[in-house]
Amino acid sequence: MKSYKPYKKKFIGWLFTVPIILSIIGLFFVFEASSVRSFQEYGESFHYFKLQLIWIILGIASMFFFSVFDYRKLYYFSLFFILGTIILLTIVLIPGIGYSAGGARRWIDFGVINLQPTELAKLSVIIYLSSWFVTRERKRFFSFLILLSILMLLIILQPDMGTAIIVFAISIIIYFLAGIELWYLALLLPGAFALFLLLVRVAPYRFRRLLAFFDPTLDPLGITYHINQILISLGSGGFLGQGFGASRQKYLYLPEAHTDSIFAIIGEEFGFVGTFLLISLYLYLMYRIYQIALHASDRFGKLLAGGILAFFNLQIIINLSGMVNLLPLTGVPLPFISYGGSNLLISFMLIGILINIAKKSRLL
């Protein structure tokens, strides 16, 4: 076992390093993409930069905490996590408490910070379902379905279809990894898809967004404006990009340039080469997380790591696919890169949990 110690130390070192590298890259591009908007709204160019820096510091501190906190103790806190999340998801819907922006009520304003309960839902689902399925007990599918339905309802009411899809997918993946009554999934998935189509059809803005996905030329100054500006930004980057700071789309042409659409600014300034290197960094991180899930020392650790792997993969795939019009735009942030404190904090916490699982793994 002694021969594995240097490799294990190096492995864990990279788990600490890669998210910090990604967050520093994101910090620079948050400033790049938000400086004009920040000056227009707050009279200074560094407003969003400073907030993101604070969240990065808090995130790194949380990562270090969870890297030394025994992940097996999360089993005993899992019920409190999920109940607290359900309470917060309910509170955010109350006018006067929940903070609205862009037609959605997703934030609770605590004065100094805004908390987004849907991001906490991703963490809570991973921890709670992993602890729930530690033992292979039967007759859990309908209880699982009730819990999932409650979460989906509260998230869709905000509305936040992107997060609802991610929470649903994470839940299904953990259920699949647990290997409990898998044939029930054959009934659940078609029903879930039918419900998704119904939700799209009854909400005009969702239906228009779907139409924009199929035909970006449909309404260039309206519903398809966002995706067209993204494609212009990426297309103008070419192979090597326009150069750092040379983006034109950041001058309020591209909506949500510092949040969901930040990848387009990276592509515009650093081109195919820059985006390829960024995606390669993500792929390396995903491979390392996969190794942790494969070699975790117990069933709880395997389910936790598998759920965390699903969390990062889903967010990366959905965000990047939306940027190149392979999927409709859903408002899902790019982990460690996009502006947003709640998602950044949860991402660092999950990396800390992974590091603790890696420390106790058997083969690394």
Contact 255, 103 (CB under 8 A): no
55 domain-assigned: yes
Phi, psi of 100, deg, nearest 5: -100, 145
Residue 151 is assigned to a structural domain of this protein: yes
Residue 350 lies in a domain: yes
Instruction: Give the pLDDT confidence score for residue 228 in this predicted structure.
Output: 85
Q: How far is residue 131's CA from residue 221's CA, in Å, rounded to a whole number?
A: 48
Which strands, in side-by-side order, build the sheet including 104-109?
Answer: 98-101, 104-109, 114-115
Query: pLDDT at position 5, please?
Result: 63
Cα–Cα distance, 180 to 140 (Å, whole number): 8
Per-residue pLDDT tens listing for the chain (364 residues): 444 566 667 778 888 899 999 999 999 999 888 888 888 888 888 888 999 999 999 999 999 999 999 999 999 998 998 999 999 888 888 776 766 665 566 667 666 567 788 888 999 999 999 998 887 655 677 788 888 888 888 888 877 778 888 998 999 899 888 877 667 777 777 777 777 777 777 766 677 777 777 777 776 777 778 888 888 888 888 888 888 877 888 777 788 778 888 998 999 999 899 999 999 999 999 999 999 998 888 899 999 999 999 999 999 999 999 888 888 887 788 999 998 888 899 999 999 999 999 988 765 4
Q: How many separate domains does the chain show?
A: 1
* Rounded Cα distance, 223 and 260, in Å: 16
Query: What residues have CB less than 8 Å from 159, skipping those under 6 apart?
Result: 104, 203
Q: 34 near 325, Cβ under 8 Å?
A: no
| CB 180, CB 138: distance < 8 Å | yes
Q: At what angle do helices 299-323 and 262-295 cross, to 10 degrees?
A: 160
**Cα–Cα distances in angstroms (integers) from residue 187 to residues 138, 141, 191, 193, 267, in the given order:** 17, 11, 7, 11, 41
At residue 36, the pLDDT reads 82
How far apart are the C-alpha atoms of 168 and 175, rounded to whole Å? 11
308 found inside a domain = yes
Task: Tell me how far apart the alpha carbons of residues 213 and 344 are, in angstroms, rounded to a whole number.
Answer: 28
Q: Are 311 and 170 in contact (CB under 8 A)?
A: yes
Residue that the structure tokens 């605590």 belong to: 110
H or E element in which residue 109 lies: strand 104-109
In whole angstroms, what is the distance from residue 193 CA to residue 124 CA? 24
Q: State which residues form the domain around 202.
A: 2-359
Q: What is the pLDDT of residue 241?
A: 83
How confident is the model at residue 2, as a pLDDT? 45
Residue 130 lies in a domain: yes
Rounded distance between C-alpha atoms, residue 171 and residue 173, angstroms: 5
Report if pTM > 0.85: yes
Q: Give the relative orientation of helices 204-214 and 225-237 as an angle to the nearest 10 degrees.
A: 30
Task: Match 């400086």 to its residue by tokens.
Answer: 35
Q: Is residue 243 situated within a structural domain?
A: yes
* pLDDT at residue 105, as a whole number: 62
Q: Is the separation of the CB atoms in 21 and 281 below 8 Å? A: yes
pLDDT for the residue numbered 194:
78
pLDDT at position 7: 62
| Inside any domain, residue 285 | yes
How far is it, in rounded angstroms, from Cα 22 to Cα 30? Answer: 12
CA 224 to CA 163: how far, in whole Å? 21
Question: What is the residue-wise DSSP string for 88-104?
Answer: HHHHTTSBTTEEEETTE
Alpha helices by DSSP H, listed for the chain, are 5-42, 47-68, 74-91, 117-132, 141-156, 161-178, 185-202, 204-214, 225-237, 262-295, 299-323, 341-359
Return d(Cα 218, Cα 237) in angstroms, integer.
Answer: 24
In a domain, 364, yes or no: no
